[in-house]
Amino acid sequence: MDDTQIASLLKSSDLFPLPQSLKLSYGTAGFRGDASLLDSTVYRVGILSALRSLKLGSSTVGLMITASHNKVSDNGVKVADPSGGMLSQEWEPFADQIANASSSEELVWLIKEFVEREKISIGGVGEVLLGRDTRPSGYSLLRAAEIGVSSVLGCVAVDKDLLTTPLLHWMVRAKNKGLNASKYDYFENLTTSLMCLIDLIPVSEFKITKLVLDGANGVGGQVMNEFSFCTLDVEIRNTGFQGGVLNEGVGADFVQKEKVVPLGFGSKDDVGVRCASFDGDADRLVYFYVPSESSGGKIELLDGDKILSLFALFVKEQLNTFDDDGKEGELSRLGVVQTAYANGASTDYLKGLGLDVVFAKTGVKHLHEKAAEFDVGIYFEANGHGTILFSESFVSLLVGKQKDLSEGSDEYNAVSRLVAVSNLINQAVGDAISGLLLVEVILQHMGWSVQKWNELYKDLPSRQVKVEVPDRTAVVTTSEETEALKPLGIQDAINGEIKKYKRGRAFIRPSGTEDVVRVYAEASTQEDADSLGDSVAQLVKSFLGSS
């Protein structure tokens, strides 16, 4: 790293001093916090993104400014790798180091050391696509990102303006594949693959029923307003244009956690109607409906587990149609990935379908990695973040098989559906828009109402408890976070409590950001789930103490 590059970094970093006592850690969601404190962080992630592009042979990298489902006064920043996936975990320690460097001199020293160690050639051509959600703080933070990117010689920031997070990831993936990668290419891709699936619905008449969408007063509702729904009937509420506040009493996170209608929903006209909610940056999706006029705002929730189950059932149906001799798995391996937080009833249902169910550590980057091990891997967290991954070799197999089959045959139609799904679904990251379109077409394919879908299985009652402790690192779990390895003896004690309850299940895991241990419990009744959760929380306090 020569003197010119060092001077460029020193000059620009002086514009963004680190706020006192700010300490951030790069996780699944990147960096998040109070927007007023993040200028220096976003500037430094701009530098990191530029270096990432140079390291990977001038590949295009993405930088998204969003705090997703957080309150509007927060913001955040995260990086999309050239694959369209999340930043490689190997670079997260470097992200932490530069984000927390206390001075310009320390920052430049850390960058210089990293560049030399990683053998990054400064002076090459790098490109970073920038996107932001609708938060008022996004514009100034985007300017900080631009300065960070351009302070690395030879690197260029391309402002893509207001985008959903999944759309930015899609653009990055498409651009690095040599494909057209604008927002309108994204729309065209969705439309073409959706229409293909609609044309393959095995009924004489395509029945249109209304969907009402809660846009969380965020960018997702606004992007959906630009999209032609083909033959779908979608009414969008909470777009942000009517003065609503981002994520305040609206959105997927609110609906999933509170299990009540978002603002703008709940009139008698909404009873029984199929509804869906995005989160603030449209990477999460949940469905719901109001069961009756007397429900008092309470809803029937169809969360990420239910969406996963619907997708798995549909994909399995197509695979079974053409796998050799009707024997599943001879041509393909379908797997589903959940976390320990998945409701036990959903896991039982998926296993009952004969599916390969595996567990991953909490965080979509861990689920994504596991899902990529299958020919077709489906992952979802209960919060509504998930997608379907198709291996490139399996898509090639499908396309080849499609050419050899008789058009209109059951096998041809099944293969064509899977090819269309691989194009419709966002394989880079969870995408509420593409996920919603796939749910809608599968329900039409099945001839199901939202109520019929909800009957796949009944969720077990559950309880979550947060226990403050002096040192969360005292808890060590298995890689799937389903059992505690330390403190010694605590898992045996938890198992003893679990045995007291019908269909009991519980686990503990340390928080990734604060000194708390999270407890999850479920059982056949809500009373038992609450009791089990409380008793496990007491075990945590007795083994670790409470702060």
By the 10 Å C-beta count (0-12 exposed, 13-18 middle, 19+ buried), 515 is classed as middle
Question: Any idea of the CA torsion for 405, 407, 408, 413, to the nearest 10 degrees?
Answer: 60
Catalytic residue (choose from 49, 68, 151, 346): 68
CA–CA separation, 17 vs 278, rounded Å? 35
Q: Could you tell me which residues are beta bridge partners of residue 65?
A: 77, 132
Number of Cβ within 10 Å of residue 226's Cβ equals 9
By the 10 Å C-beta count (0-12 exposed, 13-18 middle, 19+ buried), 208 is classed as exposed
Q: Residues annotated in the binding site, as ranges?
A: 68, 279, 281, 283, 381-383, 509-513, 518
Please list, residue by residue across 183-202, b when 16 or more beta carbons sit within 10 angstroms of its beta carbon and e when fewer do: beebbebbbebbebbbebbe
Provide the CB-side half-sphere exposure for 60 (13 A, CA).
20
Q: Residues annotated in the binding site for Mg(2+), as ranges?
A: 68, 279, 281, 283
Q: Could you tell me which residues are beta bridge partners of residue 165?
A: none
Contact between 307 and 386 under an 8 Å Cβ cutoff? The reply is yes
Whether 68 is catalytic = yes
Eight-class DSSP state of 385: -
φ, ψ dihedrals at 354, nearest 5° = 80, 20
Contact between 293 and 333 under an 8 Å Cβ cutoff? The reply is no
Contact between 251 and 190 under an 8 Å Cβ cutoff? The reply is no
CB under 8 Å to 356, separation ≥6 — which residues?
A: 333, 334, 335, 336, 374
By the 10 Å C-beta count (0-12 exposed, 13-18 middle, 19+ buried), 227 is classed as middle
Pairing of strands 74-80, 274-278: unpaired
The phi-psi region of residue 326 (left if phi > 0; otherwise alpha if psi is between -120 and 50; otherwise beta) is left
* 8 token code pair: 């460029």
CB under 8 Å to 403, separation ≥6 — which residues?
A: none
Q: Residues annotated in the binding site for substrate, as ranges?
A: 381-383, 509-513, 518
SS3 296: coil
Residues identified as active-site: 68
